[in-house]
Amino acid sequence: MLDLVIKGGQVVTPQGAGFWDVGVQGEQIVAVALPGTLTEAGRAIDATGTIVVPGGIEPHTHLAHFISMHPDEDNHTLGPEDDTRGMVFGGTTTHVDFCFVRPGLSVQQAIEQRVARWKGNSYADYSFHVALQGQLPIPLFDQLQDAIAEGFPSFKVFTVNVLPPHPKRHPYRLDYGRIQLAMDKVAKHGGIMVVHAEDDDLVQFNYEKFREEKRTEGWLLPEVHTKLSEKLAFRRTIMLAEATGAGVYFVHTSAREGVEAVVEARAKGLPIYAETLHHYACFTADDYKTPRGFCYHTYPSLKFPDDQKALWDGLVRDGVSTTATDEFPTSLELKLRGRELENVTGGNLGAEARMGIVWTEGVVRRGMSLERFVAVTSSNAAKILGFYPKKGAIAPGSDADLVLIDPSIRKALAKSDFHVSDYSPWEGWRIDGWPVTTILRGKVVVANGKLHGDLRDGRLVSRKIDPAVLRRASA
C-alpha cells in the first residue's frame, strides 16, 4: 500500500503537465498515474484546483554569514533554523549555501564546519557550494577533485572584491590565474564554476572616484557596480571557460549585457548558465530612492527597465536558467542601517517569496509555461548543480518533494504572510497564486498555513552533475 497519494491536481512532470495522481512510498515518488487509479494509500491529499510542482530549489543563500558591510560590528545573518522555516512555507524544499575556503583552511575543514552548523538545524534539505577566496596556495586546488567526489561539485569564485578594502573584510576576489586553475580542475573532474562576475578594476575605481567627488548616496550603486562591469567580467570569464573546457553558472545576473553574453555563449554550445534574482526582475534602480529602497538591494545592484526586460525574456524563453534569492536574512533595522555607497547592507530576504513571485510575475503576468516555471524554480538548478533527478522532478524514483500552488489566491502580501524576519521586501506586492502545501521527502511539512516540519527534517544531499550538463548548454 502507498503511504500517500496526491489526487486531482494538475501535475508538472518532465514529460509535461497533465492531470495525474502522484503516489508516494516512504521518501520517494513511486507512481504518476491516471486519476483515480491509486486507490490504496495511508493518506490522501486532495489537490483539486492546484498545480503540483517539484519542491523549489534555492541555489544561492548566505545563512549564518558575517555581515561585511558593517565590518566593525560582529553581525551575522539569521541561520538555517530561522530562514528555512520561510523556505518550506514558500515551497522551497532544498537550498544551497556556501562554505568559505580562505588561506589557512582546507576545503575539507570548510565543508565540515558548515555541515556541522546545519545538522539538526534545517527544515529543508541542503548542500554547499565551495567558495574559494583570496590568495589561496596553489597546491590547495588539488583538493577540488576530492570535494567533487564527496558530493560537492560546485565552486564559487568572485572576480571582484565587492566592497572597498577594509582590515576586517576578507578579500573575496580570486585572481584570474587561480580561476583558470580551478577551471582546469573542474573541467577534468566533473565540477562546475559558480561565478560572481564583475570587473574589479572598474568597481574599485568607481568607489574611489565617487569618494573623491564626495558623492556618497547609496542610490548611486548602479553607477559603481555598472552594466559595463558585468559585460567585461562575464565575457572574460566565458573566454577563460571556453579555453579550459569548464562549465560556468553565473550568479545574480543583473544586466542585459550579462544575459547577452550568456545567450551568445550558449548559441556556440558552451555549458554556460545564468541565474537571476526575483528582486532584480521586479525592482529597478529607481526603487533605491523610496523609503525602504535598500530592502531590494544586493550586489552588483538593481539596474534599469531595459535590463529587467532582458531578465524576463531570458526566464520566460531561454538564456536565464534559474531564479535565486542571494538570501541574506537580517532584521529590517539592520537591512536599512547603511544608506551610503560603502555601507548599504547587501543581500536579499525573499527565499520564502521566490516560488510565489515567479508564479505570479512569470506564469500569470508574462505567459511563462508551467514547464518553464518548474525549470526556473527547481529542475534547472537541480540539473546544473547535480541534484537531478533525485530532486527537481516529479517522476518515479525521485524524492517526494512536492508543492501545491493554489492559483486562486489573489491578494496583496502582508507581513503576516512571512515567517523569517520582522519584514519582507514583498509586503504590499499583489500576487495571483501562492504555495499552500509543501511535502519534503514524503512528509507534509506545511499545510493550511501550519508548520508540521521540524529542524531535524533537513538533510545534507550529495550531488553529482550529469556530464551532459557540462558538455553543452542543456538546462
Binding site for Zn ion (CB under 5 A): 326
Q: What is the distance, to the nearest Å, from the Cα of residue 157 to the centroid of all Cα atoms in its chain?
A: 15
Considering the complex, state which of residue 230 and residue 326 has its C-beta at the smaller distance from Zn ion: 326
Smallest gap, in angstroms, from Cβ of residue 299 to Zn ion?
8
Reading the block at residue 193, the C-alpha cell is 564554476
**Which grid cell is 130?**
565551495
Q: Closest approach of Cβ 326 to Zn ion, in Å? A: 4
Tell how strand 192-196 and strand 248-250 pair up.
parallel
**Shortest separation between residue 21's beta carbon and Zn ion, angstroms:** 39
Nearer to Zn ion, 200 or 326 (CB): 326
User: Which residue, 24 or 302, has its beta carbon nearer to Zn ion?
Assistant: 302
Q: Which helix (H) or strand (E) holds 174?
A: none
Neighbours of 454 (CB within 10 A): 11
Least spacing, CB of residue 252 vs Zn ion, in Å: 7
Let me know if 74 is exposed, middle or buried by CB neighbors in 10 A (0-12, 13-18, 19+).
exposed
Q: How many angstroms separate the CA atoms of 465 and 190, rounded?
A: 7
C-beta closer to Zn ion: residue 14 or 338: 338
Given the complex with Zn ion, which of 326 and 457 has the nearer CB atom?
326
CA distances from 202 to 285, 359, 430 (A): 19, 36, 38
Minimum CB separation of residue 62 from Zn ion in Å reads 6
DSSP-assigned beta bridge partners for residue 11: 18, 52
Q: For Zn ion, give the closer residue by CB, 50 or 254.
A: 254
**How does strand 51-54 pair with strand 41-46?**
unpaired
The three cell numbers of residue 323 are 531564479
Pairing of strands 2-7, 41-46: parallel
Give min distance, CB of 82 to Zn ion, in A. Answer: 18
Q: How far apart, in Å, are the Cα atoms of 409 and each of 86, 191, 404, 424?
A: 18, 41, 12, 19
The rounded radius of gyration (Å) of the Cα atoms in the chain is: 21
The total number of residues shown for the chain amounts to 475
CB closer to Zn ion, 8 vs 300: 300
Find the shortest distance in angstroms from Cβ 52 to Zn ion: 30
Give 53 or 162: the residue with its C-beta nearer to Zn ion.
162
CB of 455 to Zn ion, least distance (A): 24
| Nearest one of 126, 73, 121 to 99, comparing CA atoms | 126
Q: Which is nearer to Zn ion, 32 or 277 (CB)?
A: 277
Minimal distance in Å, beta carbon 294 to Zn ion?
A: 16
CA–CA separation, 349 and 372 (whole Å) = 24
CA 315 to chain centre: 14
Q: Which residue is nearest to Zn ion (CB)?
A: 326
Pairing of strands 402-412, 430-440: antiparallel
Tell me how far, at minimum, the Cβ of 60 lies from Zn ion, in Å. Answer: 5
Q: What is the 3-state secondary structure (H, E, C) of 242-291?
A: HHHCCCEEECCCCCHHHHHHHHHHHHCCCCEEEEEEHHHHHCCHHHHHCC
Please identify, using beta-carbon distances, which residue of 344 and 368 lies nearer to Zn ion: 344
Cβ of residue 295: shortest distance to Zn ion, in angstroms? 17
How far apart, in whole angstroms, are the C-alpha atoms of residue 463 and residue 475?
16
Q: Residue 260: how many CB atoms within 10 A of its CB?
A: 16
Nearer to Zn ion, 347 or 386 (CB): 347
Taking the least distance from each CB to Zn ion, the nearer of 28 and 276 is 276
Structural contact between residues 218 and 340, judged by C-beta atoms closer than 8 angstroms: yes
Report which of 339, 321, 319, 306 is spatially closest to residue 227, judged by C-alpha positions: 306
